[in-house]
């Protein structure tokens, strides 16, 4: 007797991703695992992204968010409520599956209930700058490096049981690292999170220095709240100086190995922008906490 596999809902968030969304949707269409519904959540794209989405999906499963009032947790919670699948897959529109077995590989531990949530590998795109490629490979790769970090997870290529997502809702009062906060709660509750290196998607960004500063400012601000039980040492030496020096040394080593002049020239300004942003974001959050 054949038992029908549970239905999967794929949640795809997008905003002005015209350069990537066609390929992402095409790869999704070509998956070996086809028992899924697609829900698109677009933040009012103006570059043609919405027009592409409408070629692949029914208007009844396209939700429009206000980009001026975008809160990741609010959009994700809405997605959970709308989807009918017993397993929800989260795939950013700029995270393009690299094989037709991506979905099958990603949901396998959920289908056999060996995991409560999973996240897949991310690989750099062909146009990725050297150091961002290095960061992507270090964070994902074989998973051994990030396994030794305090905590790591990425929503851009992930999945979970709907029941888990209904029990553990996303926080709607933080703007960055909502996936880190959510998955850390799962971990503390004793739930199983697995990294699926076989389920890879091409996903990377060439942030400018100002964009890097802004992103890390937001992440530092979020970390001060998420890791409030002393999981992270927020001292100047351990949170700023040591990570800055170690990252630059790793950058130089990577650049030498890959014969990248861009890596050598980019290392110091990039890491100073990132670590300074993270430090200032964390300090701002601490000052707000002290004031309240």
Are 16 and 48 a contacting pair, CB within 8 Å?
no
Question: Domains in the chain and their CATH numbers?
Answer: 8-202 (3.90.550.10), 209-291 (no CATH)
Tell me the pTM: 0.94
Evaluate whether 140 touches 121 at the Cβ level (below 8 Å). Answer: yes
Would you write out the chain's pLDDT as a tens digit for each of its 292 residues? 344 556 999 999 999 999 999 999 999 999 999 999 999 999 999 999 999 999 999 999 999 998 888 999 999 999 999 999 999 999 999 999 999 999 999 999 999 999 999 999 999 999 999 999 999 999 999 999 999 999 999 999 999 999 999 999 999 999 999 999 999 999 999 999 999 999 999 999 999 999 999 999 999 999 999 998 889 999 999 999 999 999 999 999 999 999 999 999 999 999 999 999 999 999 999 998 888 7
Q: Is 288 helix (H, G, I), strand (E, B) or coil?
A: helix
What pLDDT shows up at residue 279?
98
Instruction: Note the pLDDT of residue 5.
Output: 53
Give residue 290's pLDDT. Answer: 87
Q: Rg of the chain's alpha carbons, rounded to an integer?
A: 19
Q: In what order do the strands lie in the sheet with 87-91?
A: 62-64, 36-42, 8-14, 87-91, 157-161, 117-123, 193-202, 96-97
Q: Cα 21 to the chain's mean position, in Å?
A: 16
């Amino acid at each position: 007797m054949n038992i029908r596999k549970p239905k999967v809902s794929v949640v795809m968030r997008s905003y002005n991703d015209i350069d990537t969304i066609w390929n992402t949707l095409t790869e999704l269409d070509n998956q070996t695992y086809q028992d899924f519904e697609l829900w698109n959540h677009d933040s009012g794209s103006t570059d043609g992204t919405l027009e592409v989405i409408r070629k692949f999906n029914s208007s009844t499963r396209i939700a429009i968010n206000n980009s001026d009032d975008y809160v990741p947790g609010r959009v994700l919670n809405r997605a959970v409520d709308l989807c009918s699948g017993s397993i929800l897959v989260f795939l950013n529109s700029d995270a393009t599956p690299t094989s037709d077995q991506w979905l099958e590989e990603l949901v396998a531990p959920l289908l056999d209930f060996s995991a409560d949530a999973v996240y897949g590998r991310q690989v750099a795109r062909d146009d990725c700058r050297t150091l961002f490629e290095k960061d992507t490979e270090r964070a994902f790769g074989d998973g051994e490096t990030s396994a030794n970090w305090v905590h790591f997870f990425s929503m851009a290529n992930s999945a979970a049981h709907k029941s888990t997502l209904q029990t553990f809702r996303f926080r709607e009062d933080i703007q960055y690292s909502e996936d880190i906060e959510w998955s850390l709660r799962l971990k503390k509750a004793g739930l199983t999170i697995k990294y699926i290196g076989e389920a890879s998607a091409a996903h990377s960004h060439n942030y400018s220095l100002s964009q890097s500063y802004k992103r890390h400012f937001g992440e530092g601000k979020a970390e001060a709240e998420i890791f409030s039980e002393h999981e992270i040492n927020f001292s100047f030496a351990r949170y700023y100086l040591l990570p800055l020096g170690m990252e630059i040394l790793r950058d130089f080593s990577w650049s030498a190995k890959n014969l990248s002049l861009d890596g050598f020239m980019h290392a110091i300004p990039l890491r100073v922008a990132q670590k300074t942003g993270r430090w200032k974001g964390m300090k701002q959050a601490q000052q707000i906490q002290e004031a309240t």
